[in-house]
Chain A
Amino acid sequence: MSDGLTHAAWSDALREGALLGGACDDCGATVGTPKAACPHCGARGLEPVELPTAGTVYTETTVEVPPEGIDERGYRVAVVDLGAARVLGRLDGAAEIGDAVALAGHVEDEQGYVVPRFEPA
């Protein structure tokens, strides 16, 4: 059993261009963000695994009314299907659902939290 995947490790990997997920030895599920236990079967110690950095758009939207703290409008947010797992991030460019995209960096908020940024592949 591993010590599992933490937010810090996930974020450090993302800053270096890698996407980490957690794989469950018990039920075979893989999740795209750190969990202390498998959301599907409860097994602890998900094995950190490197996820592909390319995939397809699972769903997306363009946000025209942003929250306080974000000045730009018309930015896109997408859930990207990487095969074993999905992750949410920003999407720059014209990709629609089903189109191929690849990790192109990250965006960081005012508290230093990062999420992936994707572009058309």
Chain B
Amino acid sequence: MPRAAVVGAGMTEFGIHDIPLEELFAEAAFGALDDAGAEPADVEALYFGNAMSGQAENTTHLGPKVATHAGMAGIPVQRFEDACATSANAFKNAVAAVEAGVHDAVLVGGVERCTPETGRDTAAMTRVFASASHRQYEQPAGLTFPGVFALLTKRHMYEHGTTEEQLAHVAVKNHGHGALNPRAHFGKEVTVEEVLDGPVVADPFRLMDCCPFSDGASAVVVVSDELADSYDAPVDVTGVGHATDVVPIADKPTPHVTQAARDAAEEAYEQAGVSADDVDFAEVHDCFTGAEVLASEALGLVADGEGGPAAATGRTARDGDVPINPSGGLKAKGHPIGATGTAQVVELTEQLRGEAGARQLPDADRAVAHNLGGDAATTVVSVMEVRG
């Protein structure tokens, strides 16, 4: 039996939005409600994600602010902050709430503004992002977030022989996918040569190995299994796993295996009664190209050490045997931190309904979303399926 169902999905374009967070979130919230055929009055609670508005925009207590702006003042709002896994954590708790009967229908979503055009410049946002690394034992070294994933990826390269060219193939693939997505931050294709010619951000990552700073919002309507059939196009949520790992990086026994993702995937697959072999496609957290390689292995979609070759040989492309990030991923679609987790759920919902337009995958019946936070010390893995 499914744990819950997604009956409405909405998101803004990811890119540059010079409007307040409340206006940006309302656009996604209304998109989700309209898609469900629901009114704000149908929603009993809001599970809301935003990671950094206090630091980046000097606005806090955002829950009632966004609820008020979207016509939902009065309902309970719980806000989540879990770095880049912020709104997947909100989704996990929303699914648990409707499954337990705490609520029958809730709105889940997130919003963030990260672009230099609408907020702080690259150096300032690099510092804000670095706040997810350990304040005492990592930040004083000047560790940045590209640096965090560079540390994980370089060990993976050392252990498995993963190459910079294979990483570049991840970027090329996801840019290609993003070019089919009208809501993607980056809509142009790139070549391996262009990626490898880019300036280094934190080696082995060059500029195009890194996702952009994006503004955007996403939201979904989650209802109980009992209520799902009263909506037009429900998609089942059959498993949500959530795990953490040791912080800081140096104290993780094997950082590059991203153990939290493996634990979360095991939990999600077990709830859904499936294995990685049963997954038709995945949206994974490719904040950097190396992160997609690590995620593809942690989810069991490819064998350990095969993540790089799988990208280079096209196995993870739209027409490959394990399509990854048909939306373009964080790399091309964009990464407005608090909106990313539920944006993955939006993509799963649209693909599983067969409503993904030019980027629609054939035979998409079951999919997995992988949203990680911080130095991979939080990961939420969700399994969604065509309603049975």
Contacts and interface: CB of A to CB of B under 8 A. Distances in A.
Nearest to A88: B250
Interface string A77-101: 1011000011111100000011000
B249 A79 contact: yes
Contacts of B199: 64
Contacts of B143: 63, 77, 88
B140 interface: yes
Contacts, number: 115
Given A7-B136, A88-B143, A89-B141, A59 B158 contact: yes
B201 A90 contact: no
A60 B246 contact: no
Tell which of A7, A35, A58, A67 has the most Cβ of chain B within 10 Å.
Answer: A67
B142 A67 contact: yes
B202 A64 contact: yes
A109 B142 CA distance: 9
A68 B142 CA distance: 10
Interface of B: prevailing SS: helix
Interface residues of A, number: 38
A39 B127 CA distance: 27
B152 A69 contact: no
A88 B246 CA distance: 14
B205 to A, nearest CB: 8
A27 to B, nearest CB: 12
A61 B140 contact: no
Contact of B250 (A66, A87, A90, A98): A87
Contacts of B249: 79, 88
Given A59-B151, A59-B158, A77 B141 contact: yes
Given A61-B204, A75-B142, A86-B251, 6 more contacts: A33-B250, A59-B152, A63-B202, A66-B144, A67-B142, A115-B141
Interface of B: 122-124, 126-127, 130, 134-144, 146-147, 150-152, 154-155, 158, 199-204, 246, 248-251, 255-256
- Ranked 6 nearest A-B pairs via Cβ: A61-B150, A67-B127, A109-B140, A59-B155, A68-B123, A68-B127
